[in-house]
Structure 1
């Protein structure tokens, strides 16, 4: 044989667990816990400034624009002509710059009408536009 064996029964498998890697890992973990344990118990005192909450926040004006299946426009539940929409949007932006537009369109309305309404809102300078939907 090229490698010598000192035991007499050379065909028996080795039945012992090699403990060296296990002990090495346990010692490394012990050192890590010894180093990090004092850091977990020390707290740093930070004096944060006190801020008073605003009791009244100015909510932007909300415009509810509805488009029914026939293509008719409704401004805050009042009927509106399509030709007047752009002027009303510009007047709303002039009176309150942070105006919000909530668009509710019927499922059967043509996309072209919704796109025209959104283009008018964009040209008027409205940047806050939301879509209202109903869950079935």
Structure 2
């Protein structure tokens, strides 16, 4: 004998809640697509590091000079930025750091001078001086 079906009052009323399962599925698919499509960050910060010992002798007082053609000179011997960084690191590693005098030519570029000062600072030099500024103490008014 079959039992008659009962109608419950809950089943007879219409459903009033929205089914959000498909919405969540689509959001997850879109999230995965964005993760795959967006490129990774490709920028890099270049930090100069010393690559070895300095090749020139380190005296008690050393002069870093920039000439009119923006060449670097260590005690009147030409070198490039990496070699200057190596010299500075060798000087900074000494127990008694030597005095580093910075003497750019007036026609040297400001950018080269600023980069050289930053390189000296980053190398850890504590005894640093600007030399030759007394020549520019007075200006001729023309």
Q: TM-score, normalised by structure 2?
A: 0.49
Partner Cα separation in structure 2 for residue 116 and residue 94 of structure 1:
21
Q: Is residue 91–residue 125 contact of structure 2 (8 Å, CA) maintained in 1? A: no
Residues 97 and 122 of structure 1: CA distance in aligned 2, closer, same or farther (over 3 Å): farther
SS at match of 1:63: strand
Query: Alpha-carbon deviation of 1:98?
Result: 2.3
1:84 maps to what in 2?
A: 83
Q: Which runs of 4+ in 1 moved over 4 A?
A: none
Q: Mind listing any 5+ residue stretches in structure 2 that lack a counterpart?
A: 1-58, 137-142
1:130 maps to what in 2?
A: 129
Q: Mind listing any 5+ residue stretches in structure 1 that lack a counterpart?
A: 1-59
Question: In the comparison of the two structures, how many residue pairs are matched?
Answer: 77
Bigger radius of gyration? 1
Query: Alpha-carbon deviation of 1:82?
Result: 1.8
Q: Is residue 61–residue 101 contact of structure 2 (8 Å, CA) maintained in 1? A: yes
Partner Cα separation in structure 2 for residue 97 and residue 112 of structure 1:
30
Within 5 Å, give how 1:42-81 maps onto structure 2: 61-81=60-80
Q: Is residue 64–residue 72 contact of structure 2 (8 Å, CA) maintained in 1? A: yes
Within 5 Å, give how 1:4-43 maps onto structure 2: none
C-alpha RMSD of the superposition? 1.8
1:109 maps to what in 2?
A: 108
Q: TM-score, normalised by structure 1?
A: 0.51
